[in-house]
Amino acid sequence: MLRVTLHDTTGRGFASDNYAGVHPEVLTAVSAANGGHQTSYGEDVYTERLHGVMAEHFGRDVQVFPVFNGTGANVLSLQSMLPPWGAVICTETAHIHSDENGAPERVAGIKLLTVPTPDGKLTPELVDRQAWGWGDEHRAQPLVVSITQTTELGTCYSAQEIAALCDHAHAHGMRVHMDGARIANAAATLDLPLRAFTTDVGVDVVSFGGTKNGALGAEAVVVLDPEASTGLVYLRKMNMQLGSKMRFISAQLLALLEGDLWLRSAQHANAMATRLHAAVRDLPGVTVERPVQANAVFAVLPAGVADRLRERFRFYDWDAATGEVRWMCAFDTTAQDVDTFAAAIAAELTGAGAGARTVEV
């Protein structure tokens, strides 16, 4: 039995909100769900309750399918929305295109029709670049538009922007999927309930994210319009996303959603990104060209600075050719974490950080 902690529990990085641990309230919920026996494969009281809680947030009797991870949620969502000849319109930076190792294509057999965007967001006009060829037997049929909220570039769709996309897609006979890996951060940014920029504006299916917001490993496919999706009860098992002890996935989502933990955590992560942006935006040599609208900061650094900083703080290059990096904040990022990191950036820019102690955080 492992009885020792193998890592420095005070360490923090800015690489991903996935680096963060599990929120203590979520761990408590998992422990509380652990006693005795419960029916497996989703026929448990926690999953039953989750359906009601999701309906409270999304405003109707939704269909909820808890799964293990975000890629599984996205693949299942899209697979259930498409016939074998269907295609999905998405941005070039969409997670389903650039960060899921071909899973939509290889597992679900889905054709992705990508569109370049300056800010990670689709518009009706951008959708139209790929929304054509219906009835042409030589072309995969564009039947779903997939958007990410918040986007991979840290931007956030307004409810009005999503409504315009949904109206446009539906007018062409297409459905709308939302990759909501950071949907809580979007709600915090918009100061709106979840239904206001999903159900109420026409989104059909949501991949609901919990892991990046403090869960141990819990996502869900949430079907808002039953006519937009079919076969999920079978596809989830086929795609190895059916949890036998599903009560523990559902308990995590309940911990987030029954109260305001989901929103509190997202608000805090967003606030820490805003703090980081304020601390670095005026430093000589730092350029922040993208808006900071949630829990991500994208910055361009002079050559060599990022590599030196990474000797002490983990984060990723976004575009190595331009020197752009991405810094992510999480539910457990503290003001001190941000201030320490910002001070280290300033020191490296002035050359004062060369002799700093090397510590992996």
- Structure tokens given for 99: 């960060």
Residue 184: per-residue pLDDT:
98
Q: Do domains 33-257 and 261-350 have the same CATH topology?
A: no
Residue 3: per-residue pLDDT:
75
Q: How far lies 158's CA from each of 171, 197, 224, 299, in Å?
A: 20, 7, 19, 23
CA distance 309 to 235: 44
Residue 359: per-residue pLDDT:
38
pTM for this structure? Answer: 0.95
Q: By the 8 A CB rule, do 360 and 312 touch?
A: yes
- Structure tokens given for 296: 């991500």
Residue 11: per-residue pLDDT:
85
Q: Where are the alpha helices (DSSP H) in the chain?
A: 24-32, 45-58, 70-81, 95-98, 103-106, 124-127, 159-171, 183-190, 232-238, 247-257, 261-280, 305-309, 335-350
Q: By the 8 A CB rule, do 82 and 110 touch?
A: yes
Residue 1: per-residue pLDDT:
67
Per-residue DSSP letter, 40 = S
Considering just the CA atoms, what is the radius of gyration of the chain in Å? 21
CA distance 335 to 126: 39
Residue 168: per-residue pLDDT:
98
CA distance 163 to 142: 19
Residue 352: per-residue pLDDT:
58
Overall fold of domain 261-350: Aspartate Aminotransferase, domain 1 (3.90.1150)
CA distance 40 to 279: 49
Q: Where are the domains of the chain?
A: 33-257, 261-350
Q: Span 33-257: which CATH code?
A: 3.40.640.10
**What are the mean pLDDT values of the chain's consecutive 10-residue runs (361 residues total)?**
82 94 98 97 98 95 96 98 97 97 95 97 98 97 98 98 98 98 98 98 98 98 98 97 98 98 98 98 95 98 96 95 97 97 96 50 38
At residue 214, what is the residue type? G
Residue 360: per-residue pLDDT:
40
